[in-house]
Amino acid sequence: MSTTPALGWRLPPLAVLLIAVALIACAEVGGASMVQFKWELTRWARSVMLSRPAVHGLVGVRDVDESIIDEALVKFDAGLRLFHMHAEGMGLVIIAATTVAVTLVASAPLARAIVVLVTAGGAGYPVGYLLWSALIPFYGIEAGKATAEWLVWIPFGGATIVAMWWLTGILAWRVIRRA
Amino acid sequence: MFMLALGETGGAVMSQLRPQLDRYARARVAASPQTHGLAGSAEYDDEIAARVVFTVEAGLSFFHTHAEGIGLVTLAAGTLVASLVPWRRPRSALYALIVAGALFPLGYLVYGAAALEAGLDAGVELAERYVLTPLGSAMIAALVGLLVLALVGRRSTGGRTGLSA
């Protein structure tokens, strides 16, 4: 994180790379598990929903209940898929953004702050989709979404967005100064 | 980094403001009945409005995913150009193409907005013809150019490139 012009990309801290690669590995395992255990997961979610009829508004009429359960199962599956996609993507975003930060942000404390925000935010955000999926059978689609939103998506997603715009601003300032 | 930041912000906006976007899109469709071919029958008009709203949401969703992806592609391609293309002018040309290609995801914002303002088919065609195709082609041309120039550069420098040095 020196003030001299960079001659090549600098590596972010090893712990950051480990987190990013572990996140990508989790995403891949998640994607594979989603396919491999699709029926087991669906049966589990269905049985939990049936054991909590009041939460899901089940009325005991097969036609009505089946459509409610189907909708919840679609969202349950969507949560798992979104975890898979976002974890793959955020792993790469962490590697790219932290590499840019340690190479091009001249101030070491600033670069460190951006690295921490991008890494924590990027690694935490996809977990929100897993949490949402896990909460749907117990608390319903909307209650699960609200919990995941306030516990994970807003704080971790917010940290990533702040860090990315901060980094973009610093790079833009460098470009303007150079011009 | 700008496209990555835009992509992330776009995703957050899409998720947080979905009801507002839905209402706005339906209001815009209702405000231009001729453009969208509304017939005055509630059932038929509702179906048309739903298709337009779906297209607008798809545009935002594609913008989010493509902006995240193209940011990484731009970074990787730019690094490879800097490392593998030894000539200044071709390098500058490739940078220009990569920068144009990096703007490709903005085409999906145009796609959503044009579907809303010019009608579904006309809007989608406009975005595809004037924004998505030229910008997407610029990135494809940059990547093909990079491949060709990297191979030629490797031959002319005997394999001494930025990556192998």
pLDDT at B154: 78
A172 touches chain B (CB under 8 A): yes
Closest CA to B29 of B97, B103, B117, B101: B117
Confidence of residue B161 (pLDDT cuts 50, 70, 90): low
Residue numbers in A near B75 (CB within 8 A): 96, 100
pLDDT in tens, B39-78: 878 888 888 889 989 999 999 999 999 999 999 999 999 9
The tokens of A54 are what? 């009041």
The residue segments making up the domain with residue B139 are: 2-155
In a domain, B162, yes or no: no
**pLDDT band, very low/low/confident/very high, at B155 (cuts 50, 70, 90):** confident
Residue type, A98: T
| Residue B45 touches chain A, beta carbons under 8 Å | no
Picking from A156, A161, A124, the residue whose alpha carbon sits closest to that of residue B10 is: A161
Burial label, A18 (beta-carbon count in 10 A; 0-12, 13-18, 19+): exposed
Interatomic CA distance for residues A44 and A71, integer angstroms: 15
The verdict on residue B25 lying in a domain is yes
- CA dist B112 and A177 (Å) reads 36
* Contact assessment for residue B85 and residue B94, using Cβ atoms and an 8 Å cutoff: yes
Whether residue B161 lies inside any domain: the answer is: no
Q: Is B79 on the interface with A (CB under 8 A)?
A: yes
Query: Hey, where are the domains in chain A?
Result: 14-178
- CA separation for the pair A97, A16 (Å, rounded): 11
- Whether B94 maps to a domain, the answer reads yes
pLDDT of residue A110: 95
Judge: B1–A89 Cβ closer than 8 Å, yes or no: no
For residues A17-29, give the mean pLDDT. 95
- Residues on chain B touching A8 (C-beta within 8 angstroms): 162
**Confidence band of B159 (pLDDT split at 50, 70, 90):** low
**At B29, is the pLDDT very low, low, confident or very high (cuts 50, 70, 90)?**
confident
Whether B164 shows a pLDDT value over 50: the answer reads no
Torsion over CA: B43, B49, B53, B58 (sign):
positive
B15 touches chain A (CB under 8 A): yes
Residue B35 has pLDDT above 90, yes or no: no
Q: Is B165 among the domain residues?
A: no
How many domains is chain B partitioned into structurally? 1
Distance from CA of A164 to the nearest CA of B (A): 5
Q: Is the CB of A168 less than 8 angstroms away from the CB of B1?
A: yes
pLDDT of residue A46: 94
Lookup: tokens for B54: 């779906």
Q: How far apart are CA A144 and CA B17, in angstroms?
A: 18
When mean pLDDT is compared across A46-50, A135-139, A167-171, B32-36, the lowest value belongs to: B32-36
Q: Check B72 against A161: CB less than 8 A apart.
A: no
| pLDDT, position A7 | 66
Tell me if A93 and B68 make a contact (CB, 8 A cut-off). yes
Read off the pLDDT of each residue in A4-31 and give the average, rounded to a whole number.
88
Does A55 have pLDDT greater than 80? yes
Q: How confident is the model over A62-88, as a mean pLDDT? A: 93
A156 vs A97: CA distance, rounded Å:
16
Q: How confident is the model at residue A163 (pLDDT cuts 50, 70, 90)?
A: very high
Q: What pLDDT, on the 0 to 100 scale, is given for residue B46? A: 86
pLDDT band at B165 (very low <50, low <70, confident <90, very high): very low
Query: Tens digit of pLDDT for each residue in B75-125?
Result: 999 999 999 988 999 999 999 999 999 999 999 999 999 998 888 889 999
Q: What is the mean pLDDT of chain A?
A: 92
Instruction: Say how far apart CA B161 and CA A10 lie, in whole Å.
Output: 18
Does the pLDDT at position B131 exceed 90? yes
pLDDT at A2 over 50: no
Confirm or reject contact between B68 and chain A (CB < 8 A): yes
Burial of B97-106, coded b for 16+ CB within 10 Å and e otherwise, reads: bbebbbbbbb
Q: Nearest C-alpha of chain B: how many angstroms from A153? A: 9
Among the listed residues B85, B65, B82, B75, the one whose alpha carbon sits nearest the alpha carbon of residue B10: B65
Residue A62: predicted pLDDT = 85
Residue B25, H or E segment:
helix B18-31
The better pLDDT of the pair A159, B160 is held by A159
User: Are B1 and A164 an interchain contact pair (Cβ–Cβ within 8 Å)?
Assistant: yes
Residues of chain A with Cβ-Cβ distance to B8 below 8 Å are: 157, 160-161, 164
Q: Is 70 exceeded by the pLDDT of residue A1? A: no
Taking residues A32-47, what's their average pLDDT?
93
pTM, two decimal places: 0.86
